Amino acid sequence: MPKLGLISEVVFSIILSFLLSYLILALMGYDASRVFSIVLTDGLRNPSYLMARSSPLTLTALAFSVPFLTGVFNIGGEGQFYLGALTSLLVAHFTGNSLLALLTGCLAGGSLAWVIAIVKVKRGVNEVVTSIMFNWILYFTLLYLISTYFYDPLMPYQSVSVPENARIGSLTVASISVPLMFPIAVLISLATYFMIFHSGLGYKMRVSGTSPRSARYAGFDPNRLTMISMVIGGAMGGIGGALLVLGHTHAIDSTMSGLYGMGFAGIGAGLLGRNNPLGIVISSLFLSMLVIGGEAAELRAGVPTELADTLIGVIVIVLSAPYIISLFRKVRG
């Protein structure tokens, strides 16, 4: 699709999604103009928090989008995110080395995705089924480990903390505090973009995702490319969990509220960014703005949590629908 057509499609989708959301609010008796004003102003009020909130989401979106380009539906970013967060937390706590912790989270997420890919390629088990199983296994395993072995004696409601010397801090740019986790996420997205669109491996992955038969005819191995894309995606999910713990929360609470849902939200961010790593950075910022603004709307306008989530869902669906339809047409064609 030409760039001008893509821009027009996105702009039209944004306008339509906001109109639908405005209509829903009005029909339910809320002051839609005030709600949207709160969402936009409060969502952008704190750039530092917005960047910190969007950074892990960027990585979980890449965890979905990179395998998706090879035709693999990786919804295991949630579990890969959990595993990356836990392993990086423990390595940072016991070694005080943030770089080692970040690499450990990357390796943990990639290893989990490799297992899912192996089961798919060797045994033909659908990756969605395996991913869902691992997501819940890791969710409850982390709850058990944090509440039983790795809790903070002074604050039993959370895990042990990342020591000060192992935390990813921030720098000040034009009087704005920029969390370092944000430029790290952006650099990873840039590297992923060049890998996908400017390397032989990326070309093979995209051909394999569009037409496995053509890939085989060209001498490419779709199974090998599936495994590579899954490992890369899993590594991204693991880094996302590591960044969240090392750069923002510095611990994992006993209810997993800081982690839960980030991998699933990454699917929406990936589709919203058209599975383009550069677009994903923007879509992650946009979705994070909606989440932050939605929380403010709940407090200041009395909008129920369910309604705020519904509005975000409407926006994501409307923005993603044209891209999903074009993908199905491309695959069927």
Give per-residue pLDDT as tens, 205-254. Answer: 999 988 888 888 888 999 999 999 999 999 999 999 999 999 999 999 98
Dist. CA 76–CA 63, nearest whole Å: 8
pLDDT beyond 60 at 275: yes
pTM of the model: 0.91
Cα 205 from Cα 226, distance rounded (Å)? 8
**Residue 171, beta-bridge partner list:** 178
- 157's enclosing H/E stretch is strand 155-159
Residue 287's contacts (CB-CB under 8 Å, 6 or more residues apart) are 54, 57, 265, 268, 269, 272, 312, 316
DSSP letter for 164, please: G
CB-count burial class (<10 Å; 0-12, 13-18, 19+) for 148: exposed
CA distances to 203, 210, 271, 274 from 328, rounded to whole Å, are: 20, 10, 13, 13
The pLDDT tens digits of the residues spanning 51-81 come to 999 999 999 999 999 999 998 989 999 999 9
Query: How far is the CA of 110 from the CAs of 13, 37, 41, 114, 213, in angstroms?
Result: 34, 41, 38, 6, 27
Q: What is the DSSP string of 114-142?
A: HHHHHHHHHH---HHHHHHHHHHHHHHHH
Q: In Å, what is the CA distance from 308 to each residue of 28, 49, 52, 265?
A: 12, 19, 21, 15
What is the structure's pLDDT at 274? 85
Q: What integer pLDDT is reported at residue 24 of this predicted model?
A: 85
Please tell me the predicted confidence (pLDDT) of residue 173: 86
Distance CA 251, CA 15 (A): 39
